[in-house]
Amino acid sequence: MNIETKYWPAELSRAGIEEAAAAIAAGGVVAFPTETVYGLGGDARSTEAVGRIFAAKGRPSDNPLIVHLAHGASVAGLVKEIGAVEAALMDAFWPGPLTLVLPVREGAVSPLVTAGLDTVAVRVPAHDLARELIERAGCPIAAPSANRSGRPSPTQARHVLEDLNGRIDGVLDGGATGVGVESTVVRVVDGMIHILRPGGVTREQLRDAVVGLAIVAEETKEEVRAERRAATAAVGVGTEASLSSRGEQGSSRSSATDAEAPRSPGVKYAHYAPQGEMLLVTGAFERLSSTVQAQARQAADAGKRVAVLSCSEHAAGYRADIVYDCGPRNEPGKAAQTLYATLRECDEQGVDYIVAEGYPEDGIGAALMNRLRKASGGREIEAR
């Protein structure tokens, strides 16, 4: 695959929208900014266009895509029904980083979008360029993240070009994204909201939005163990026994059963991975730094180039080839916003081994920890 990839720079992005929209309307695939990460978009109704998305990314075909819409009203043309809970969530969070999984209307989108399932994932992005692009293209746009499958998601246009230049029709530059991690994906079953993938809308925000109408499902210990097994198996490392026990801690995933997972992107395969090996260190704050430093020193002694991803409170005390200050521990949104760019910079700097501090798993911290676990491929130890 080697095609000319058009680039519309940030200062000319609005002028480029018409060209980008025309490319999508003609069956092409174009990367564009959203408030979460850059998406790789094509006409969701066209199996040929959607097939090009999968081919460009090298994405498994059993991994469903999210359909992006310009307006909430457009969802009615894609789904069989919208329940009261889903309607309340749409009112509360659209436009925004929330994806709803709904029963798909037959023939509304290509079966490649849904991976052959009877549901479709939909959202309205909170980014003016994205919504204008969708509006002008005149079609619902299927769009996973605009990166090679398994790589850290792109939060800048240059990240897209690093992975997909020569494989897609164009890149619409809208500057750096704001949230930095993908949307939250939810499915409502029997009045209960299941979080299939944590993201830019937090569990707490969901709870507040549906008080008196629905409840947000809590995860079970088995789901915690299942996610850890999946993360480990995806990269073929270790066993569950070789990873630290998280005891009563909540998992980054609050979903329905494993059988539901394929209805959401980002839960079945290893994702967001840097080129070097990565280890996540969790546990009590006062014990984190000594364990992280010990792991960094061990890797350095083995001849590896080492980077540490640290909260601001510990960053100055670490000794490694590169130390990234990811922001205060009580502000995980800052770490989430820069995570993917930091992982890509580690690749650029030739880092062989990354040791990352864990964060509290409330609020946006749940999404951050989900991505850190995915990036580390299940390699996690508890600080001692």
Average pLDDT of the residues in 67-94: 98
Number of CB atoms found within 10 A of residue 32's CB: 34
Q: Residue 43 above 70 pLDDT?
A: yes
Phi, psi angle pair for 145, to nearest 5°: -65, 145
Task: Provide the pLDDT for residue 25.
Answer: 98
Half-sphere exposure of 159 (CA within 13 A, CB side): 32
Q: Residue 146 above 60 pLDDT?
A: yes
Whether the full predicted model's pTM is greater than 0.75, yes or no, is yes
Task: Provide the pLDDT for residue 264.
Answer: 66
Task: Provide the pLDDT for residue 229.
Answer: 56
Task: Provide the pLDDT for residue 240.
Answer: 28
pLDDT tens for residues 303-327?
Answer: 999 999 999 999 999 999 999 999 9
Q: Residue 358 above 50 pLDDT?
A: yes
- Res. 68 pLDDT band, cuts 50 70 90: very high
Average pLDDT of the residues in 98-115: 97
Q: Which long-range contacts (CB under 8 A, 24 or more apart) does 86-93 make?
A: 86/188, 88/209, 88/210, 88/213, 88/214, 89/186, 89/188, 89/193, 89/206, 89/209, 89/210, 90/124, 92/205, 92/209, 93/201, 93/205, 93/209
- Which of the two residues, 154 and 254, has the higher pLDDT score? 154
Among the listed ranges 41-45, 197-201, 218-222, 247-251, which one has the minimum average pLDDT value?
247-251
Task: Provide the pLDDT for residue 63.
Answer: 87
Q: Residue 99 above 70 pLDDT?
A: yes
- Res. 254 pLDDT band, cuts 50 70 90: very low
CB-CB contact of 60 with 266 (8 Å) = no
Task: Provide the pLDDT for residue 247.
Answer: 31
**DSSP annotation of 137:** H
Q: Which amino acid is at 45?
A: R
pLDDT tens for residues 213-224?
Answer: 999 998 755 655
CB-CB contact of 187 with 196 (8 Å) = yes
**Token output for 293:** 């430093």
As a whole number, the mean pLDDT across the chain is: 90
| Distance separating alpha carbons of residues 182 and 180, to the nearest angstrom | 7
- Among 148, 170, 157, smallest CA distance to 17 is for 170
Percent of the chain with pLDDT over 90: 82
